[in-house]
Amino acid sequence: MIVIIGVSVNYTIFNNTQGSTNTFTITPFLIKAEGEGQPIFVRGASTIFDVYVYSLEKVPEKSTPDFPIYSEQYLYFNPENSDLYEQLSVNDELQKIVVVAPIFTKTAYGSEGFYDYYTNRCDESCIDSIPIRNELPMAYTSSVSAIKVLNMLGYSIITDIEIEKDPNILKKFDKVIILHNEYVTQNEFDAITNHPKVLFLYPNALYAKIQYDPQKNTISLVRGHGYPNSEIKNGFDWKFDNSPLEYDFGCKDWKFYEIENGAMLNCFPESLIIKDKELLMAIKEF
């Protein structure tokens, strides 16, 4: 039996930066199931899209931001919202807009990756030459909801690997949307910060410097996130680093504020983006 028993759920993670725990609300529904992998369908005022969730009954002992309350979330268009989708879609936009999927960050959060090193479960072998984890699904920390929603609404999506290989690729687009791209190379950082119109949709972007080896298809941590010493926070010493805002998961008072080459959101919108049409319209009109 599967029962919806609430509209939100409290979830505790370990804050690797500050060495403390944070409890926050992340999903618009709470699911209780007997066993694992059982699907549930959600439609209603809480979401813009139809949502199918394959739920997990137990949270793993390894509690990190990478573990969402659900194992898989599938979004579908709700026929009743067709007019709304037309308003939010960018399919007919003259401007060229691109979203950058954080593949490097997804890899960093994977098992035997950077966070096993940060939490002393692994030595420096977990930050040196880590294979790109293409087999891992995008997750909470790699902006899975935003990627799904924006893709459905017609936004073009590239990966940060593509930017590393060809930093000039961003010049083909009028607007660039950055997600939780926490781990980036110097080439990627330069390409993003030199673009004239960038929307930083998630706090904590461009936080740590990595090196990408295209021959081995691996990443290594170079600087940032307390490495190579605990005093180093942002690996690029970026003056617009807004990482403290990433712990506002509720986004009750969300807003965009301007920086030199665009704008930043003041909260972490992973749960908000599937249900807030005003946010999606603001992204489109940026």
Q: How far apart are CA 238 and CA 233, in angstroms?
A: 10
Q: Which residues contact 223 (CB under 8 A, 6 or more apart)?
A: 208, 209, 232, 235, 236
With a cut of 60, say whether residue 190 has pLDDT above it: yes
Pairing state between β 97-101 and 256-259: unpaired
Nearest to 222 by CA among 209, 213, 212: 209
Please state, in angstroms and rounded to a whole number, the distance separating the CA atoms of residues 145 and 124. 31
- Model confidence over 77-110: pLDDT tens digits? 888 889 999 999 998 777 799 999 999 999 999 8
User: In this structure, are residues 43 and 49 in contact, taking their beta carbons and an 8 Å threshold?
Assistant: no
Q: Is the pLDDT of residue 274 over 70?
A: yes
16 plus 91 within the same structural domain: no
> Does one domain contain both 72 and 107?
no
Domain end among 42, 61, 81:
81
Winning range, highest mean pLDDT, from 5-9, 70-74, 215-219:
215-219
Best mean pLDDT range from 30-34, 53-57, 126-130: 126-130
Question: Do 250 and 267 reside in the same domain of the chain?
Answer: yes
Same domain as 268, residue 249: yes
CA atoms within a 13 Å half-sphere pointing along the CA-CB vector of 31: 30
Number of domain units in the chain: 2
* Tokens read off for 172: 């083909």
Domain boundary among 81, 116, 134: 81
Same domain (yes/no): 236, 116? yes
Whether residues 75 and 102 share a domain: the answer is no
Range with the poorest average pLDDT among 35-39, 121-125, 260-264: 35-39
- Confidence (pLDDT) at 22: 33
Which residues contact residue 206 at a Cβ distance below 8 angstroms, ignoring those fewer than 6 apart?
A: 178, 181, 182, 184, 189, 192, 193, 234, 236, 238, 241
Question: Are 280 and 49 a contacting pair, CB within 8 Å?
Answer: no
Domain boundary among 31, 66, 81: 81
Residue 60's domain comprises 2-81
The helix/strand count (H/E) of the chain reads as 7, 17
Helix (H) or strand (E) holding 15: strand 10-15
pLDDT band of residue 133 (cuts 50, 70, 90) is: confident
Residue 203 reports pLDDT greater than 70: yes
**d(C-alpha 262, C-alpha 17), whole Å:** 26
Question: Do residues 125 and 162 share a domain?
Answer: yes
**Which residues on adjacent β-strands are paired with residue 42?**
51
pTM of this structure: 0.81
Residues 219 and 131 in one domain: yes
259 and 190 assigned to the same domain: yes
At 242, list the tokens. 């807004």
Mark whether 55 and 97 lie in a shared domain: no
25-39 confidence digits (pLDDT tens): 333 333 333 333 444
Amino acid at 103: I
Query: Are residue 189 and residue 248 in the same domain, yes or no?
Result: yes
Q: What is the mean pLDDT of residues 52-59?
A: 50
d(CA 109, CA 201): 19
Same domain, 92 and 117: yes
Residue among 50, 47, 42 nearest 3 (CA): 42
CA distance 280 to 256: 12
Single out the residue of 167, 138, 179 nearest to residue 283, CA to CA: 179
Average pLDDT on 103-132 reads 93
